[in-house]
Amino acid sequence: MSLYDELGGEASIDAAVGIFYRRVLSDAYIKRFFEGIDMEKQAGKQKAFLTMVFGGPNNYTGMDMRVGHKHLVEKMGLNDTHFEHVLAHLRSTLAELGVGSDKIQEIINIADSVRDDVLNR
């Protein structure tokens, strides 16, 4: 059984997106990357991403991640440190949802696997 099903499917992803997105926007170090963007579209993308890392139905290819972050890497200097902040927020989101530490590490590893796509390497 995937964590996606274990957590309760789509409803759990909605809850996770709310917590995760609020954490990211409260982080002064990375919030500038989220300024002036369409919050609904962003929440949709986060939902698709979290569905993927939770092992739910997805169609992840990495292309969207590359295209979506390219200008942030080139124009705003998005780098590993910023990426790690986001991972940390994902970690605390999962903890807040009551996910066990082994599972959290498993999910973080999956999330970390998109690092090169996000940073366009």
Residues contributing to the site for another protein (CB under 8 A):
10, 13-14, 17-18, 21-22, 25-26, 36, 39-41, 43-45, 47-48, 51, 56-60, 64
Q: How far is the CB of 50 from another protein (least distance, A)?
A: 9
Contacts 24+ apart (CB under 8 A), 76-83: 76/32, 76/33, 78/33, 78/118, 78/119, 79/119, 80/115, 80/119, 81/29, 82/29, 82/30, 82/33, 83/115, 83/118, 83/119
Residue 29 or 102 with smaller CB distance to another protein = 29
**Closest distance of CB 84 from another protein, Å:** 23
Q: In whole angstroms, how close is the CB of 65 to another protein at the nearest point? A: 10
